[in-house]
Structure 1
């Protein structure tokens, strides 16, 4: 079981901010970007609720919250680009839970902030759980924390347009191999083009990092999402039957190539979800998170849930 914590995201409403209950009120509440940044560092996650921000107005809020909006290049989650570096939060089937993770934690560079916007709330479920990374780390068994001290090796096999998983064209938002190579040049990634036109990427990353402002050590990786044991049983069985281990769309081991035990996957995944606080969605809600301080996921849902996301460096 996870350790107890009183932490929860900080909720900002028109009343608590002393502003009008409309989008102009939201812009007034976040207009002092330095103050908003300090509030985010102190609280790790902020929920802005009751401002009635529309999808068309969301962009102006992003301009204040995410000053250097990033493209979702090298991302491994299925999503659709719907605006200027704005994406659907995920298109993973609604009946599945998405485990806790920090966005792009397997990459050398990751976003420092994520902003989520609820365009259409689900009928039931669909919360975005968030978990304090320090709590998640301290809640893990000592054996598991020690085992991951050597780091993690992530491997991706991106096809060229037909196959399992994502293509390199979708992943890097280009069909130009030269642009892909330029992107990878300083990404601390070992890569090779395959004879079938695909590309294999290998990255060695730590399992924990320290927050750049607070210095707190946090659990910071996505190993369970890359591990066969982290998939639903039907998908894992299908992939195992069809592909050898080194041809899987994505896979993970300890840094030295040693397999990661299945029981570690369940332990880390379940501890993270158990320690998480659910952020339930209502139309017009906006959630801003510190991508290092907290991890996020998604609960199963029914109905036409549509949550958008953007990120900044």
Structure 2
């Protein structure tokens, strides 16, 4: 944990703690400038509900995006609004920037806590500059040429997400056009699935501040992140290149386990937890800040939407 940076918290002025009051304050704010300066902003105490969410979401996310090419299991619950994740509650989700493995990514993410967990369930956020600087020079140098991601998306039956879920369509021509548009290497497979490979940078620079940040999901795509037992089981079932997702250096060289474990652990070690209260909103700059999820017990419902 670090005390050098914390998300900015905006709470009601006086007694007007309503979604409408928040919407009125947002109309008087330069949200873009606030977010660049603070990196992450928590809106707390305005009693936002699922029914009033659009009132403020439309002001915070001017161009809401679909979660196309996303690899995380989610359910669409509204107009480009999704459950934040559907991984089992006992697992930690390590730090990452949304869609950093793709050719384009959202600039903003907005999380809404509809129901807080009984225990745990915080959303940790990490300053991407600090995360990058926390890594050993050997690791930063090894990743300097970027990483190559590979997905094997099945046709409805198999491990991981199907291509229909991933691209939110069952039209193969639309998928082909999308993949050609992002410059991916891809091919339809005899079993009806599709294999997609992309080489992407390991860092990027913020378009406004110019700050260089760690910006890849190599640890999440690497078998080492699954734990020894799960990785060994998958290795018995299929070769690494047939996994639902995998990652190497651009020339195909394997990424050492210890490198991705260091990336994962130092991201979490430098993160600051946002402990949810029902009705909270968390807006983050998706380049400047990575996010994750702590384990939890009980029922938890956090929704997410994104914008360019």
TM-score by length of 2: 0.98
Alignment counterpart, residue 17 of structure 2, candidates 17, 21, 43: 21
Instruction: Tell whether the 8 Å contact from 1:19 to 1:28 is kept in structure 2 after alignment.
Output: no
After TM superposition, the structure 1 = structure 2 runs for residues 53-68 of structure 1, keeping only pairs within 5 Å, are 53-68=48-63
In structure 2, the partner of 1:144 is 139
Alignment counterpart, residue 28 of structure 2, candidates 21, 27, 32: 32
1:258-303 superposed Cα distances (whole Å, 9 cap, x missing partner): 1000001111111000000000001000000000000000000001
Gaps of 5+ in 2: none
What number of residue pairs does the alignment pair up? 308
1:160 aligns with 2:160: no
Instruction: Tell whether the 8 Å contact from 2:19 to 2:55 is kept in structure 1 after alignment.
Output: no
1:43 aligns with 2:43: no
Instruction: Tell whether the 8 Å contact from 1:150 to 1:206 is kept in structure 2 after alignment.
Output: yes
The alignment's C-alpha RMSD in Å is 1.2
Quote the offset at 1:12 in angstroms: 0.3
Distance (Å, rounded) in 2 between the aligned partners of 1:61 and 1:239: 44
In structure 2, the partner of 1:185 is 180
After TM superposition, the structure 1 stretch with the greater mean CA deviation from structure 2, 23-32 or 133-142, is: 23-32
1:273 aligns with 2:248: no
In structure 2, the partner of 1:213 is 208
Distance (Å, rounded) in 2 between the aligned partners of 1:188 and 1:311: 23
Gaps of 5+ in 1: none
Instruction: Tell whether the 8 Å contact from 2:124 to 2:271 is kept in structure 1 after alignment.
Output: yes
Distance (Å, rounded) in 2 between the aligned partners of 1:123 and 1:94: 11
Question: In structure 1, the residue corresponding to 2:143 is in which secondary structure?
Answer: helix
After TM superposition, the structure 1 = structure 2 runs for residues 225-236 of structure 1, keeping only pairs within 5 Å, are 225-236=220-231
1:213-257 superposed Cα distances (whole Å, 9 cap, x missing partner): 000000001000000001134432221111111110000001111
After TM superposition, the structure 1 = structure 2 runs for residues 70-219 of structure 1, keeping only pairs within 5 Å, are 70-219=65-214
In structure 2, the partner of 1:309 is 304
Distance (Å, rounded) in 2 between the aligned partners of 1:91 and 1:215: 34
TM-score by length of 1: 0.96
Instruction: Tell whether the 8 Å contact from 1:121 to 1:306 is kept in structure 2 after alignment.
Output: yes
After TM superposition, the structure 1 stretch with the greater mean CA deviation from structure 2, 193-202 or 228-237, is: 228-237
